[in-house]
């Protein structure tokens, strides 16, 4: 599965199961240090491992699906037990696989053994009691987050869940109300701050037992390069896109100061986090109305159009399905429509964070999303189905290769499809009558930059914080201080009120509570533009990148399909080259896409408008 960045989409996609990658009860009697292992032994080991992994991942996936859709103590316990057994087996397998380290193995076998060692996002200690403890903590933190509510008048009064609170942040322009809501949600995470500290301790022990310095180093080892090289690659990409973010930031701060006054938004200071329209200030498109250029009227409101047509959640998904069918992909299987969750149930709590699930690693793909009838969720549906179609495309690969080329690819594919949700596409499918004139492009680009460019520093710092926590550079006594130092450094935002180490603001983000790595979202935000440019080139499109859509182009669809079918069978630079002709992540496509906006922003900032 997957989880999206948090435009409350997520753009979801892999849940903790795929993240913790299922484990297996495989009988491994060979001691890692034993000698005499042969190539045939290694190949049999991998064959047996894949079979067992497949069986137990499916079993665990079903348990996790139930837990996320029926949040109770019992379902949390069942999922925790399933994950515990899986993690124990994978840990055992990773250790047992070391007996083959010195063999000259066929490339495919060697790659699979490496993937077994790197399969876990949550490495558990070998000690059975500690393994049970860490899986119980992991399930409880995600469950507490999913059940989280803010009750301003206490338990007897009305309570607000994250969706309701997020809607207030998106729509209200009352700074006191925004501050109350922002602070209210952050009451959810302090109760599991102590658990998180223990979680870090146990996870690091598991990582060290597997031969890694800490959990952060283990996560960074999953990118076909050394951990330090990956960190350097992240920094290179951030510095390439930072000028775009800086231009957007200066413009946004000035417009917010006009709205709220320099007393609240200092001219050269940090932007208060509660004013940016999002619970984590990670995307700013909800305040577009405060920033929009005078000449930006697109002539339509997609949210209004969808509601006026009485579009329901299922129809929203049908639009996404038709997009993929237009590229030459098959319709979604009947089980998708029978087993997915499209709307929030009235009778129980569920994890509403949008996610795309792959239950049997063949055709049982599902969408779990509390769909709202608006423009944001229209794009999110397209994004999430990108995950589902990726999952079905690599279903023909051996089990260990049934994943994206790297975890950023899964997110990037979903977002690449969403980039094709352009006015041209909306006209083709009959939702609007005419494509807006080019004079409206700056407005359209600004709104998209408030989603994409504004997201980049947040996407970078979430794992920066965790890498520091896992390495010990940041201890439990400095969790909150380090969190806000990073947010000031990269995003330029500050909390609306004083924070202390009694708070646990990092834990108020789903991906921290659920232990989902976040670097994938940073990579995906840049990769999607590189993918988009390459697919438009394949389709023969010659115009501006921001106006192009691959809807209806079978040639681009075939190019996309071939890369998706590779799964994780080859190092990600090869998959990147198969789609784009390039073997290095290239931020110039994103800069090219937003070049007209960057020029306009710089002009506005220089003129003081």
Which of 590, 584, 579 minimizes the C-alpha distance to 224? Answer: 584
Q: Residue 161: which H helix or E strand, with range? A: strand 160-161
CA distances from 222 to 107, 168, 250, 403, 542 (A): 17, 38, 36, 12, 36
Q: State residue 35's pLDDT score.
A: 58
Which of 304, 297, 425 minimizes the C-alpha distance to 374? Answer: 304
- For residues 525 and 534, the answer to whether their CB atoms sit within 8 Å is no
pLDDT tens-digit readout, 488-510: 999 999 999 999 999 999 999 99
Which of 329, 123, 146 minimizes the C-alpha distance to 206? Answer: 123
Q: Residue 93: which H helix or E strand, with range? A: helix 73-96
- For residues 49 and 116, the answer to whether their CB atoms sit within 8 Å is yes
Give the sign of the dihedral formed by CA 83, CA 86, CA 88, CA 94. Answer: negative
Question: What SS3 class is residue 10?
Answer: coil
Give the sign of the dihedral formed by CA 299, CA 303, CA 308, CA 312. Answer: positive
Q: State residue 378's pLDDT score.
A: 94
Question: What SS3 class is residue 2?
Answer: strand
- For residues 515 and 16, the answer to whether their CB atoms sit within 8 Å is yes
- For residues 29 and 380, the answer to whether their CB atoms sit within 8 Å is no
Where does 472-553 have alpha helices with state H?
A: 479-486, 510-513, 519-538
Q: State residue 14's pLDDT score.
A: 30
Q: State residue 29's pLDDT score.
A: 35
Q: Per the structure block, which two tokens stand in for 429?
A: 């499918």
Tokens 């109760």 found at? 191
Query: CA–CA separation, 364 vs 354, rounded Å?
Result: 17
Which of 363, 362, 379, 360 minimizes the C-alpha distance to 371? Answer: 379
Question: What SS3 class is residue 421?
Answer: coil
31 contact partners, CB below 8 Å, separation of at least 6: 99
- For residues 79 and 50, the answer to whether their CB atoms sit within 8 Å is no
Query: CA–CA separation, 415 vs 521, rounded Å?
Result: 10
Beta strands in 307-364 (DSSP E): 355-358
Query: CA–CA separation, 81 vs 87, rounded Å?
Result: 10
Which residues of the chain, if any, have pLDDT below 50? 1-34
Q: State residue 478's pLDDT score.
A: 98
- For residues 422 and 547, the answer to whether their CB atoms sit within 8 Å is yes
Q: State residue 117's pLDDT score.
A: 80
Tokens 């070391």 found at? 98
Query: CA–CA separation, 483 vs 465, rounded Å?
Result: 6
* Helix axes of 227-260 and 595-607: crossing angle, nearest 10 degrees: 50
Tell me the whole-structure pTM to 2 decimals. 0.86
């Amino acid at each position: 599965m997957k989880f999206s960045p948090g435009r409350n989409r997520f753009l979801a996609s892999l849940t903790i199961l795929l993240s913790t990658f299922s484990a297996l009860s495989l009988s491994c009697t060979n001691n890692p240090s034993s000698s005499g292992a042969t190539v045939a032994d290694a190949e049999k080991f991998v064959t047996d491992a894949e079979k067992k992994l497949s069986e137990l991942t499916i079993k665990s996936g079903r348990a996790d699906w139930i837990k996320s859709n029926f949040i109770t103590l019992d379902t949390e316990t069942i999922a925790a037990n399933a994950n515990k057994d899986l993690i124990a087996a994978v840990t055992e397998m990773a250790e047992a696989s070391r007996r083959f380290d010195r063999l000259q193995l066929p490339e495919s076998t060697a790659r699979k053994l490496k993937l077994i060692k790197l399969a876990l996002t949550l490495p558990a200690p070998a000690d059975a009691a500690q393994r049970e403890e860490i899986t119980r903590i992991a399930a409880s933190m995600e469950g507490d987050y999913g059940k989280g509510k803010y009750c301003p008048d206490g338990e007897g009064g009305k309570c607000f869940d994250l969706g309701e609170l997020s809607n207030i942040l998106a729509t209200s322009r009352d700074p006191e109300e925004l501050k109350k809501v922002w602070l209210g949600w952050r009451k959810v995470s302090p109760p599991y701050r102590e658990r998180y500290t223990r979680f870090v301790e146990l996870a690091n022990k598991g990582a060290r037992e597997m031969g890694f310095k800490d959990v952060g180093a283990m996560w960074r080892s999953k990118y076909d390069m050394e951990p330090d090289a990956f960190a350097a690659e992240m920094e290179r990409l951030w510095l390439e896109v930072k000028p775009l973010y800086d231009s957007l930031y200066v413009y946004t701060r000035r417009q917010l100061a006009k709205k709220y006054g320099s007393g609240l938004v200092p001219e050269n200071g940090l932007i208060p986090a509660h004013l940016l329209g999002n619970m984590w200030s990670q995307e700013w498109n909800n305040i577009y109305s405060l920033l929009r250029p005078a000449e930006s009227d697109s002539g339509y409101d997609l949210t209004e159009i969808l509601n006026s047509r009485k579009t329901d959640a299922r129809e929203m998904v049908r639009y996404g399905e038709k997009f993929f069918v237009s590229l030459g992909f098959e319709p979604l299987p009947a089980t998708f429509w029978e087993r997915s969750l499209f709307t929030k149930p009235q009778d129980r709590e569920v994890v509403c964070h949008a996610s795309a699930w792959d239950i049997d690693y063949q055709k049982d793909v599902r969408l779990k999303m509390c769909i709202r009838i608006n423009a944001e969720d229209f794009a999110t549906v397209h994004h999430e189905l990108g995950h589902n179609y990726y999952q079905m495309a690599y279903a023909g690969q051996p089990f260990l290769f049934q994943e994206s080329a790297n975890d950023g690819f899964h997110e990037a594919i979903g977002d690449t499809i969403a980039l094709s949700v352009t006015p041209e596409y909306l006209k083709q499918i009959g939702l609007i009558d005419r494509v807006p004139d080019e004079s409206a492009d700056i407005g359209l680009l600004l709104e998209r930059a408030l989603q994409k460019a504004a997201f980049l520093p947040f996407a970078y710092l979430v794992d920066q914080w965790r890498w520091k926590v896992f390495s010990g550079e940041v201890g439990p006594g400095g969790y909150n201080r380090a969190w806000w130092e990073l947010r000031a450094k990269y995003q330029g935002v500050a909390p609306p009120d004083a924070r202390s180490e009694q708070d646990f603001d990092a834990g108020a983000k789903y991906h921290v509570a659920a232990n989902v790595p976040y670097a994938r979202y940073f990579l995906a935000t840049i990769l999607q533009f590189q993918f988009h440019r390459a697919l438009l080139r394949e389709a023969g499109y010659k115009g501006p990148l921001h106006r192009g859509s691959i809807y209806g182009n079978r040639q681009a669809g075939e190019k996309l399909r071939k890369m998706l079918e590779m799964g994780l069978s080859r190092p990600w630079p090869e998959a990147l080259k198969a789609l784009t002709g390039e073997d290095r992540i290239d931020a110039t496509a994103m800069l090219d896409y937003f070049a007209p906006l960057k020029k306009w922003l710089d002009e506005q900032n220089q003129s003081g408008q």
